[in-house]
Amino acid sequence: MAAQIINGFELAKEKRTQLAKEVEQLKQQGIEPALAVILVGDHPASQSYVKAKQKACEEIGIRSILLTFPSDISEEFLLEQIARLNEDRSVHGILVQLPLPKQMNELHIIEAIAPEKDVDGFHPLNIGRMMTGQKTFLPCTPYGILYMVQSLQVDIAGKHVVVVGRSNIVGKPVGQLFLREHATVTYCHSRTNDLAAITRQADILIVAVGKPKLITSPYVKEGAIVIDVGVNRLESGKLCGDVDFDDVKEVASYITPVPKGVGPMTITMLLHNTIQAARELHK
């Protein structure tokens, strides 16, 4: 029996309807949630992501502020812009679109964002709070993945979650979020021996490596939940994930498609974090 599709687009739509109501409630209290996005350079994918974030903000009533700069600006100049936004009480969330030009140290830039405005959840202080189970902004893609799995009404406690990929943006934090939900978590990566032997143990398999169709049905346990974070463009121009969707859907119980899977939930959780920041900053 083919897997059921976890439709991230529809889930995001439902969640955004709820968030729009929360924004309206804040506006009635005189608070207009605002997200400032900084885009450096003219990277086409970054421009596309920023446009999607702006559109999502406008749809639910969050004020969107876009600051665009040429790729040859100095790190010092960018840090000055962030410092100004940190001090601006009308701005609740600050997001610097990655990647940045080579002359900049991304870690320096992320650390310059005030933790209480770090709606991406990348600041080391917020990562530390997440690791220790404190209230904080959760990284958007991992948070979206957790939300998707929880929407299935599955008891995560005791489940074996296998994460393929160890990036700071997705792999590492998503494992920690599932650990907080009392799952048993295993990380796999490019140096893992006999990857299939480990992924076949997963009740919940999360794949985020950026390799087209890496995971095929022999890698997946019958009835597993499969979350595909990868977005890859084939030579034909078609998008595909890190999971061979047509093959794996025959063995999984649930699976996310690419596109309309994890992507819409990432932006939705950014909106969620921005609203949370507006609430906290006006307490």
What pLDDT, on the 0 to 100 scale, is given for residue 45?
Answer: 87
Checking if the pLDDT of 265 tops 80, the result is yes
Which CATH superfamily includes the segment(s) 30-114?
Leucine Dehydrogenase, chain A, domain 1 (3.40.50.10860)
**pLDDT for residue 1 is more than 80:** no
Count of C-beta atoms within a 10 Å radius of residue 187:
16
Residues annotated catalytic, as ranges: 53, 97, 120
Regarding the domain delimited by 140-263, which CATH topology (the fold level of the hierarchy) does it fall under?
Rossmann fold (3.40.50)
For 3, counting Cβ atoms within 10 Å of its Cβ (0-12 exposed, 13-18 middle, 19+ buried), the class is: buried
Residues 6+ apart with CB under 8 A from 225: 149, 152, 154, 203, 204, 205, 252, 253, 254, 255
Average confidence score pLDDT of the chain? 96
Q: What are 77-110's pLDDT values in tens digits?
A: 999 999 999 999 999 999 999 999 999 999 999 9
- Closest of 75, 73, 69, 76 to residue 43, by C-alpha: 69
| 8 labeled binding residue | no
The residue ranges of every structural domain in the chain are: 30-114, 140-263
- Percent of the chain at pLDDT exceeding 90: 96
231 touches 239 (CB < 8 A): yes
- What confidence score (pLDDT) does residue 278 get? 98
Q: Is there a common fold for 30-114 and 140-263?
A: yes
Question: Can you tell me the mean pLDDT for 152-172?
Answer: 97
Per residue in 33-68, pLDDT tens?
Answer: 999 999 999 988 899 999 999 999 999 999 999 999
In residues, how long is the chain? Answer: 283
- Average pLDDT for 219-245: 95
pTM of the model: 0.96
Is 231 annotated as contributing to ligand binding? yes
Residues 6+ apart with CB under 8 A from 139: 120, 121, 122, 127, 130, 169, 170, 173, 174
Position 283 scores a pLDDT of 82
Mean of pLDDT values over 207-229: 97
